[in-house]
Amino acid sequence: MNSIQFNRIQLRNVKSLTSELGISVLLLLTRTRSTESLPKSILSILSSSKSTNKLLRSDLHTVTKTLLFSPFSPTMQTGYSNGYGGGHTHSRRRSHRAAAGGVYRVCSSSLSSPPTAPSTPTTTSYGNSNHVDTETAVASMWEGYDEAYFQSYANVGIHQEMIKDRVRTDTYKAAIMHHQNLISGKVVMDVGCGTGILSIFCAQAGASRVYAIEASDIAIQANEIVKENDLSDRITVIHSRVEEVEIEEKVDVIISEWMGYALLYETMLPSVLYARDKWLKPGGLILPSHAMLYMAPVTNSERYHETIDFWRNVYGIDMSALIPLAKQCAFEEPVTETISGENVLTWPFMVKYIDCYTTTARELESITARYKLSAIMSAPLHGFAFWFEVEFNGPITISSNNDMGFPFQHGTNNGSNHRKRRQKNTVVLSTAPEETPTHWQQTILYFYEPIEVRQDQIIEGSITLSQSKENHRFMNVHLEYSTGGRSFVKESVMR
């Protein structure tokens, strides 16, 4: 067997990613670019996965992407999604969002080969020529993570899904035209340009020069799109991590669609902040300019009934023995699905307010907020939902959390209060449950057991969101909640 090809293997079944076996597989793949050097025992485990489907190409990008990312899409974890249109259908959500990664190069029609393979880890002199230095091994592992993350965006289907989201795309276009006076005749940087659609919008708004930066191989097609639309004289597509780009001139505008599930998943915003600190002129424009992460307790008896109660009577057979496993499979990790405003039990709570003009990457590594909410109706509490909004303001606006009175630290109803203070002409992209559904949907952290809550009953506690040490693209969730005299803790990882 020279190679083996995978299709979205569920490593939940193999349970080897964080084990020595999983790391060994990753390091071997990183070093060999194929699976021919893997022990037959590992190949047997991988190839026997029940989730292995049709064969795909076996290059390193596909194999590593499959091993590291595809199983960790929240939808893939549970096998359940309403689909962002609201119907009860499975929806292949985008697994990951691209910002940067790869070799620095300005695209041309001659660029058709994939990025070079990561270098082979160096060895130490501990008397074992095959011993891999620990720091080098870790660096190689992280390189494999990011390589897979970026290359997952080379699939055109992910970009089609994002562009077909009319709320997303129309809002970005409206924001660009709203700020046309700040874009026309100016230099723009598009961080994580994908197919280049936002760069083209900026050129149509009169930008004199657009640097479209994209790490994945979709940059090659983006360059062709730019050429076919006769914009090569104003848009330069750069195939690179933004952190590795060298551009001599400063820019007037930075635009990026960096938001992930629950706003911060995938950790793309730090790349935008890097670009801001290195290239943005004083008084420059950042789109979007501000972001708000919200949360609220939710009720969803239909979801619980379909997923859990289903096993109590299956064609007249009592399969209740499967319920503990069903709860673990369905609710162990956050899921992405569409809910409505009717599912929300309290006014929304603002977990974090981000000013993209002033915030730092360090501030985003770990976020903690305390909340105290009051139920607006009697219903079973099934979990907490997370969603976000972003605003497209100029640089002269609310500039710090102090100006917000730290609403995300204490109190209730702060999400509603911020909306009331928002200027009427502000362009807003919202993923709230009561708004038109988007491909982001909402992120739900379900409990294993529902809790009965009465109207006006207090629900309080704290929420901590932090970058995972396992992979900085993942997000750790630590939720503490108390209600009706009982206290609980829910911990999970959004992979």
Task: Write down the pLDDT at residue 470.
Answer: 79
pLDDT value of residue 340: 97
Position 47 scores a pLDDT of 41
Distance CA 421, CA 317 (A): 56
Domain ranges of the chain: 161-287, 290-494
pLDDT tens digits, one per residue of 157-166: 888 999 999 9
Distance CA 204, CA 324 (A): 55
Coil vs helix vs strand at 255: strand
Instruction: Domain 290-494: give its CATH superfamily.
Output: Hnrnp arginine n-methyltransferase1 (2.70.160.11)
Positions marked active-site: 257, 266
Give the pLDDT score at 131. Answer: 42
Stretch (H or E) spanning 41:
helix 40-47
- The torsion defined by the Cα of 85, 87, 90 and 94, in degrees rounded to 10, comes to 10
What pLDDT does 468 receive? 86
> What's the confidence (pLDDT) of residue 218?
94
- Domain 161-287 is classified in which CATH homologous superfamily? Vaccinia Virus protein VP39 (3.40.50.150)
What is the pLDDT, as a whole number, of residue 150?
A: 64
**pLDDT reported for residue 78:** 35
Same CATH fold, 290-494 and 161-287? no
Sheet holding 235-239, edge to edge: 105-106, 235-239, 209-214, 187-191, 251-256, 280-287
Q: Spell out, as residue ranges, where the chain has pLDDT lower than 70.
A: 1-146, 148-154, 396-421
